[in-house]
Amino acid sequence: MQLHLYKEMADLEDKHWWFTGRKKIIEQVLCCLPNTPVNNVLDIGFGTGGMCETLGKISRKIVAIEPSPAAVAFAREKCPQAEVWQGEISNYPGTTFFDLVTMFDVLEHISDDAAVLKMVYQKLKPGGHFVFTVPAYKFLWSRHDVAHQHFRRYSKNELHQLFTGNSHFLVERLTYFNTLFFPVVLLVRLMKAVIGGDGSDLTILPEPLNFFLGWFFGLERYLLKFFDLPFGVSILCVARKI
């Protein structure tokens, strides 16, 4: 992407309702992990650093990997306390083992997701956790996925099968989320499929509406304290290295 697009992304991650609501949900899940705050976390696909504040609340040290040099520049400015490394996890030179590895809406961008799962396993300490999110349901595939260079969308069963090939991971939680907006997202995707539209769903909205949507989306964190959600636009997984 061009440099100005990374600047827009950096601003969007701090303001857009989808990002702000998702941060609240992820923070709730991470804070419920045992032994938090952890000593260190490795975030793969750090982008422009939008998850910096959230990860800083649950880990004493943040190490981040991001392949885009332009995104790394913004991430280092936004998150100076993190060790941000430019490259892929496959050639990350660090020898540290981590209490926690995170990937937030990154796995769908990678062609060989099973290979990445094995690399994550190698970076974790025994008993360490892997927490990640991905977009859900193939029938929600749209121009948004094409524009953001996704290889796939997942179902819970597909993620279970992905972990079946690596018996050293124990899946502790696998739940859909972004459930409250699911009917709206489905309707919008169907309408765009029929009448067309731009490639991204991340439209800037008037501030009062943007604030309300972020607040409403974030309410799901209270539901997730007590039970998994049966469907949604996204999936969240918590797995442990055994």
Tens of pLDDT, residue by residue over 114-147, are 999 999 999 999 999 999 999 999 999 988 888 8
pLDDT of residue 4: 62
What type of residue is 240?
A: R
Residue ranges for the chain with pLDDT beneath 70: 1-5, 166-167, 195-201
Identify whether the C-beta of residue 15 lies closer than 8 Å to the C-beta of residue 214: no
- Two structure tokens written together for 200: 């991204």
Q: Where are the domains of the chain?
A: 3-241
Answer left, alpha or beta for residue 35, where phi above 0 means left and psi between -120 and 50 means alpha.
left
Compute the distance between CA of residue 104 and CA of residue 131 in angstroms, rounded to an integer: 8
pLDDT of residue 6: 74
Contacts of 226 (CB under 8 A, 6+ apart): none
Q: Are strands 41-44 and 98-104 parallel, antiparallel or unpaired?
A: parallel
């995170």: which residue's tokens?
Answer: 102
Identify whether the C-beta of residue 149 lies closer than 8 Å to the C-beta of residue 135: no
Range 3-241: architecture per CATH:
3-Layer(aba) Sandwich (3.40)
Give which of 33, 30, 22 is closest to 234, Cα–Cα. 22
> Sheet containing 98-104: which strands, arranged edge to edge?
83-86, 62-66, 41-44, 98-104, 124-135, 234-241, 169-177
